[in-house]
């Protein structure tokens, strides 16, 4: 997902299924989601999509192009049609983890894992005529997975990735004008790193978010010498997947992710200067989510897009606002006790009127549902097996979730 200068959110995704999963782009015009140009505009199936806006507000997409030997292709929307930027399939071989960004001078750059160099990292830019290498191709020490590519505010390209040349730990490199050089120590994470996401503060400090097999959820920043923790590691309280990080205009880092401690439903957290706090409800999505993308609009509101299993893996886009209605407060104020529970659990402070209550087990299977019309409801849990459950509470268009532990 990306926002244009008018704060309109655009999303790029694979439409259809199987060999018909071509690329599509849609935008929200303030009322509806509408197509941008023709649907299914790629020649063949695509993967590893990246969407950004140029300095002149044109949407660009990069992807691994299955119709061109899995090579990299970049296209832009010219106001009427999607057109190729350079030749389609311009990389020398297959690509993975394509990530697109623009320099301050308006040149598109693309980073990817390059099959011509054993899936090591390569960066290229379009010079107006051709795609050309930035530094040596295949410059990483080993195979590069989960690539995130960004420019600092002073126009220095940086890349983060899971580094197979350094025990699959996190590495960040930058281009110094001639060569790609390490930012700090390569392989600086404690354990193997997954889902790296790179961002910059207003004073050009690089931040990286990732899931660490030893330290669990981690956000670090480079202090000029070392990569240091931003708050405590393990802030998610469990497994974490599909991480996306962004900093708001106050330089507060936010992370959106599929939350393993909440059945892999969506959660957003922010660092408040001393600790990580949940933004809104933990596990705010209807079901398990994939492929998160987090951005901020000009009002400093976080917007997150994700593939939503609650709607057949279709896209959902949600925005968080601090303005809460009375109904919001009524739903979020529901109490659940005792917790852990044995044979009975009670929900109190339910809002006035019909309230939909559902309970899901750790696999996402619905094990109980009821429409409540009173302010208190008791659920018999004697037939529930021990473990973690999620209680979904919906009143009108407001939803909240409560974590329930059964210990018989």
Which pLDDT tens digit goes with each residue over 62-118? Answer: 999 999 999 999 999 999 999 999 999 999 999 999 999 999 999 999 999 999 999
285 and 145 in a common domain: yes
365 and 274 in a common domain: no
pLDDT, position 200: 98
CATH number of the domain that residue 303 is part of: 2.120.10.80
Which residue positions in the chain have pLDDT lower than 70? 17-20, 322-330
Q: How far apart are CA 385 and CA 402, in angstroms?
A: 18
Does residue 325 lie within any of the structural domains? no
Q: Which residues contact 361 (CB under 8 A, 6 or more apart)?
A: 367, 385, 387, 389
Domain boundary among 255, 284, 319: 319
pLDDT, position 19: 56
Does residue 394 lie within any of the structural domains? yes
Domain boundary among 269, 291, 319: 319
Rg, Å, the chain Cα set: 22
234 and 355 in a common domain: no
Per DSSP, what are the bridge partners of residue 266?
258
Q: How far apart are CA 250 and CA 330, in angstroms?
A: 30
39 and 136 in a common domain: yes
Q: How far apart are CA 388 and CA 233, in angstroms?
A: 23
Segments forming the whole domain that contains residue 127: 2-319
Cis status of the peptide bond prior to 308, with omega within 30 of 0 = no
171 and 257 in a common domain: yes
Q: How far apart are CA 109 and CA 101, in angstroms?
A: 5
290 and 343 in a common domain: no
The β-bridge relationship of strands 265-271 and 169-175 is unpaired
225 and 275 in a common domain: yes
Does residue 127 lie within any of the structural domains? yes
339 and 308 in a common domain: no
238 and 361 in a common domain: no
Does residue 330 lie within any of the structural domains? no
Q: SS3 sequence, 239-293?
A: CEEEEEEEECCCCCEEEEEEEHHHCCEEEEEEECCCCEEECCCCCCCCCEEEEEE
pLDDT, position 264: 92
pLDDT, position 329: 57
Domain boundary among 294, 319, 344: 319
pLDDT, position 361: 85
314 and 341 in a common domain: no
295 and 186 in a common domain: yes
Does residue 148 lie within any of the structural domains? yes
Does residue 285 lie within any of the structural domains? yes
154 and 258 in a common domain: yes
Q: Count other C-beta atoms under 10 Å from residue 241's C-beta.
A: 18
pLDDT, position 18: 57
Instruction: Give me the DSSP letters along 95-154.
Output: EEEEEEEE-TTS-EEEEEEEGGGTTEEEEEEE-SS-EEESSSSS-SSS-EEEEEEEE-TT
pLDDT, position 261: 87
Please say whether the beta carbons of 208 and 196 come within 8 A: yes
Rounded to 5°, angle at Cα 333 from 382 and 259: 70
CATH number of the domain that residue 401 is part of: 2.60.40.3080
Q: How far apart are CA 42 and CA 23, in angstroms?
A: 6
Per DSSP, what are the bridge partners of residue 99?
111
User: Total structural domains in the chain?
Assistant: 2
Does residue 328 lie within any of the structural domains? no
Q: Output DSSP code: residue 328.
A: H
Which tokens sit at 326? 């009375």
Does residue 48 lie within any of the structural domains? yes
Q: How far apart are CA 49 and CA 288, in angstroms?
A: 21
pLDDT, position 327: 44
């Amino acid at each position: 997902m990306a926002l244009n200068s008018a704060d309109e959110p655009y999303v790029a995704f694979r439409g259809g299924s199987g060999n018909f999963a071509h690329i599509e782009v849609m935008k929200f015009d303030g009322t509806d989601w509408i197509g941008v140009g023709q649907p299914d505009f790629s020649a063949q199936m695509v993967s590893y999509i990246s969407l950004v806006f140029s300095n002149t507000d044109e949407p660009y997409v990069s992807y691994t192009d299955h119709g061109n030997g899995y090579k990299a292709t970049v296209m832009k929307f010219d106001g009427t049609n999607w057109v190729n930027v350079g030749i389609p399939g311009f990389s020398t071989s297959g690509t993975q983890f394509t990530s697109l960004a623009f320099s301050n001078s308006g040149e598109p750059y693309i980073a990817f894992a390059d099959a011509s160099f054993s899936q090591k990292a390569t960066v290229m830019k379009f010079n107006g005529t051709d795609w050309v290498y930035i530094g040596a191709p295949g410059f990483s020490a080993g195979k590069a997975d989960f690539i995130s590519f960004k420019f600092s505010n002073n126009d220095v390209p940086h890349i983060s990735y899971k580094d197979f040349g350094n025990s699959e730990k996190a590495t960040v490199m930058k281009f110094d004008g001639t060569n790609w050089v390490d930012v700090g120590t390569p392989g600086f994470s404690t354990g193997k790193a997954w889902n790296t996401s790179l961002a910059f503060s207003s004073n050009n400090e690089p931040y990286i978010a990732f899931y660490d097999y030893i330290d669990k959820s981690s956000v670090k920043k480079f202090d000029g010498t070392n990569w240091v923790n931003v708050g405590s590691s393990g802030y998610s309280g469990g497994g974490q997947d599909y991480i996306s990080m962004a900093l708001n205009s106050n330089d507060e880092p936010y992370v959106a992710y599929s939350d393993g401690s909440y059945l892999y439903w969506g959660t957003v957290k922010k660092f408040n200067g001393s600790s990580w706090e949940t933004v809104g409800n933990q596990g705010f999505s209807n079901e398990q989510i994939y492929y998160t993308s987090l951005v901020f609009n000009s009002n400093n509101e976080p917007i997150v897009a994700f593939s939503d299993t609650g709607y057949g893996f279709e896209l959902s886009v949600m925005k968080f606002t601090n303005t809460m209605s009375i109904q919001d407060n009524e739903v979020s104020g529901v109490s659940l006790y005792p917790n852990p529970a044995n044979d009975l659990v009670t929900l109190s402070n339910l809002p006035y009127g019909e309230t939909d209550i559902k309970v899901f087990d750790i696999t996402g299977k619905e094990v109980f549902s009821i429409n409540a019309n009173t302010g208190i409801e008791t659920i018999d849990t004697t037939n529930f097996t021990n473990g973690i459950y999620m209680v979904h509470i919906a009143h009108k268009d407001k939803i909240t979730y409560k974590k329930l532990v059964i210990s018989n």
